[in-house]
Chains A and B, each alone.
Chain A
Amino acid sequence: MRKLLKNEGFESFIASIICIILGLIIGYVVLLAIKPAGASKAIVAVIKNFMYYPSGAAKIKYFGNTLVKTAPLLMCSLSILFAYKVGLFNIGASGQFTVGTCAALYLALGANMPWYVCLISAMVAGALLAAITGILKSYCNVNEVISCIMLNWISLYATNMILTKVKESTSPYTLVVANTNPKAILPSLGLGKLFSNNPYVTIAIPLSIILAIVIWVLLEKTTLGYELRATGNNKNAAKYAGMNEKRNIILTMVIAGALSGLGGAFLYLSGFEQWQCTQSSVPGMGFNGIAASFLGGLSPIGSIFSSYFIQHVTAGGAYVDKTLYCSQISDLISSVIIYLCGFVGFLKLVLKKAAEKKEGGETK
């Protein structure tokens, strides 16, 4: 059994590596097609990310920046994989992330609330939005993918409207949290010092890793996890066994939504960015989260690493020579990786089937 589990983990790992390599190769080919001269330099820039800086201190500082954005991505990725284990495709992580941001920033800037209040309300906002999807799914049989997309757009427009009230008068961006209400900034607990005094490194980073472990324990070790995964694998059997399918679907979405909503707060309460109130599409975090969760083999622990990788590449896009290429090249790479993840299921299934056939044959 242990050996088999190891094999499965190993299988996922190999599959993910293949996806990453193919994704990078395709990205490289696209760069070559646009302008052959700078392509190698550009792809190296994407891969190097913060290693671009010569000094060690700067490297560490910018490594910190990548981590600051990894934390919210990890939250989205956890949200998606958690829902996926229960048989739901939470493409609405972006919307939940957005309303989380909205709640956190509005309470921070508009109501002068301390960080923990903002954090909790971001969770609640994400959870409530996702609950709509869950309720529509379990009581009205509405496909969760479509309702999630609709809610993404609704939350984008709503957030833009609400956050316009706390934006700077001269720009489309929201007020800077650190200046307006410093007590809403997440505490650093001295972590910033470790990253060459990076002011954005906060407890969000360790917190997100702890939550990944919590989600793993929840899914694998608890009675609730047993029940939720049974619902995901075979909802008819779950119903037959007396599990409350409707409640489980809603509960799952609520947890998933809370995770994504928290992601929004993790990013904007670190002070790293301000929300742009004229934004015309939902943040890409929720979509990159899909890449991260599948690349991580749908395991919360694997997600920690894959989220970092995706963020590393996305941040690396910023170092590409803008006069030659655009930064969307990293979006392209991550979407190619998701596409390839579709094939991973097939590959693993084939391997599994072959293995099972052998076992089945032997026992007969």
Chain B
Amino acid sequence: MDAPYAIEMLNITKKFPGIIANDNITLQLRKGEIHALLGENGAGKSTLMSVLFGLYQPEEGQIKKDGKVVDIKNPNDANALGIGMVHQHFKLVECFTVLDNIILGVETTKNGILQKDEARKKVLALSEKYGLAVNPDAIIEDITVGMQQRTEILKMLYRDNEILIFDEPTAVLTPQEIDELMAIMKNLAAEGKSILFISHKLNEIMEVADRVSVLRKGKYIGTVDVEGTTKEDLSRMMVGRDVDFVVQKQPRTPGEEILKVENLTVASKIHKNNAVKNVSFNVRKGEIVCIAGIDGNGQTELVYALSGLEPAAGGKISLLGKDITNTSIRDRSVMGMSHIPEDRHKHGLVLDYSLEYNMVLQRYFEPEFTKNGFLDKPAIRKYAERLIEEYDVRSGQGPITRARSMSGGNQQKAIVAREIDKEPELLIAVQPTRGLDVGAIENIHRQLVAQRDKDKAVLLVSLELEEVMSVPDRILVMYEGEIVGELDPKTTTVEELGLYMAGAKRQ
């Protein structure tokens, strides 16, 4: 007789020095079900999955497959047991074709030479069966993120995996693509595959999952059937308190123009086309304007051009009425532009510098911190201590903590503190809440609104639909390098927004 569970993780405990990442967690995945694993960033979801894949060995607990205890020492053991995963950051070799990526690791050869014809047939058959249309000979870096994700799913199916894990799969998709993915997942489950769906997005879980297990701060909170529960119940389980989904803000009339962008064009570093095409918009005093869109539609390049990290290929950018199209990064910063960068490790921080040195990253040369070419260390210390206090940045050793050793949330808080304390006229915030927990997200949203209420201009770039709908006063949707629509968050719907994001509709 078949055991009812495809995989069981029983009483798993995994400790790291000074922290219990998984504290007695139990997760049981039934055959043919879609089981959601819900929890905030840092709740222990990824540790649990790493245990399942043999990357970590738990101190306590055991794993059962089909009722039998199994020992998973490394990812190969997990693969052999038919466990596959679509990672949040795809594990695809960008200069290889779709087919090469699928067969990598399980290639068929004859006399040492690769045989790809059989594999191609099998891939085509699989994509037909599950509705995963993708060209096997396309190069990964040329295809859309949605296609890349399908490649990842095909990779699992090609290996005849029975247990499929999706790690935050919707973060990079348009609402329409998300719908397609949900259909594919249901289809897979109907064919007998067991699916583990890791997410913190309640709407999606409500739509697709059969059951939900919730983790919070490394602890197992419980498992419930989706039928018979509500979004509010789930969010309370996840966060441990009631969550305010609405960002509090009073209506305001925007003032004069701070940033003006006219016919801006930016060349792409990846392909020959322009990444930003002929874009015009403005941001005024006392308003938050949000650039919405799927990742990779030119938002990054747009911000690079605004901040000066990349040159503009054409058009004009004006800040406070002055043409800054060819102005240096330093001059833009001094003129009153602040920039919370997309990638805090790449751009935002010098990780091997202390927190105090990072706090003056754009201002170290000002007379306040420099005397006759020498750094004024006491002044820097005093300044850093004030910011740490005011913005509640937590770290092991205060101002002298190495930035590298701080948690992601506190690193972000430090950047936000630094950028806002410059008292900029224009604050550009790119995905400022990425990877943070609910408390930190609320905090940063409050800071953005506070800037607006101080009559400053805020340009927010976001991929999160909830953020797009709740924070800004105006939404500009970018698709393939163009602004295809301007929406009012008070009157528009997620569906309408999705149509613009997918390029199906434009004004």
Contact = CB atoms under 8 A, between A and B. Distances in A.
A/B contact in complex, CB under 8 angstroms? yes
Interface of A: 1, 221-224, 226-227, 229-230, 233-234, 236-244, 356-364
A361 B329 contact: no
Interface residues of B, number: 40
A221 B328 contact: no
Contact of B18 (A224, A230, A360): A360
B19 A364 contact: yes
29 contacts: A1-B397, A222-B374, A223-B370, A223-B373, A223-B374, A224-B373, A233-B352, A234-B346, A234-B350, A234-B352, A236-B347, A237-B349, A238-B350, A239-B329, A240-B329, A240-B341, A240-B348, A241-B329, A241-B362, A242-B332, A242-B333, A242-B362, A244-B330, A357-B16, A358-B17, A359-B397, A363-B394, A364-B18, A364-B407
B330 A242 contact: yes
A221 B348 contact: no
Interface string B332-371: 1100000101000011111111000100011011000010
Interface in B360-408: 361-362, 364-365, 370, 373-375, 394-397, 400, 402, 404-405, 407
Interface of B: 16-19, 307, 309, 328-333, 339, 341, 346-353, 357, 361-362, 364-365, 370, 373-375, 394-397, 400, 402, 404-405, 407
Contacts of B341: 240
A362 B396 contact: yes
B30 to A, nearest CB: 34
A223 B350 CA distance: 15
B350 A221 contact: no
A11 B18 CA distance: 24
Contacts of A227: 364-365
Contacts of B332: 242
Nearest to B361: A241
A213 B405 CA distance: 30
A242 B328 contact: yes
Most chain B Cβ neighbours within 10 Å, of A236, A242, A244, A362: A242
B350 A233 contact: yes
Contacts of B394: 363
B400 A1 contact: yes
B333 to A, nearest CB: 5
Contact of B365 (A1, A223, A359, A363): A223
A357 B19 CA distance: 10
A226 B357 contact: yes
A222 B373 contact: yes
Q: Which 6 A-B pairs have the closest CB atoms?
A: A361-B18, A242-B330, A240-B347, A242-B329, A363-B396, A359-B396
B346 A356 contact: no
A88 B350 CA distance: 17
Contacts of B407: 360, 364
Nearest to B15: A361
Nearest to B331: A242
A234 B349 contact: yes
Given A227-B365, A241-B329, A357-B18, 15 more contacts: A1-B400, A222-B374, A222-B375, A223-B374, A224-B373, A233-B351, A236-B347, A239-B309, A240-B309, A241-B362, A242-B333, A242-B362, A356-B405, A362-B396, A364-B18
Contacts of A361: 16-19
Given A242-B330, A359-B405, A230 B396 contact: no
Contacts of B374: 221-223
Contacts of A224: 373
Contacts of A241: 329, 333, 361-362
Contacts of B348: 237, 240
A240 B396 contact: no
Most chain B Cβ neighbours within 10 Å, of A240, A359, A361, A363: A240
Contacts of A242: 328-333, 362
B143 to A, nearest CB: 27
Nearest to A240: B347
A226 B364 contact: yes
Most chain A Cβ neighbours within 10 Å, of B307, B332, B349, B405: B405
A255 to B, nearest CB: 15
A238 to B, nearest CB: 7
Contacts of B16: 357, 361
Nearest to A242: B330
Contact of A230 (B307, B328, B350, B405): B350
Given A239-B329, A360-B18, A230 B361 contact: yes
A237 B361 CA distance: 9
B405 A226 contact: no
Nearest to B344: A237
A231 to B, nearest CB: 9
Contacts of B339: 240
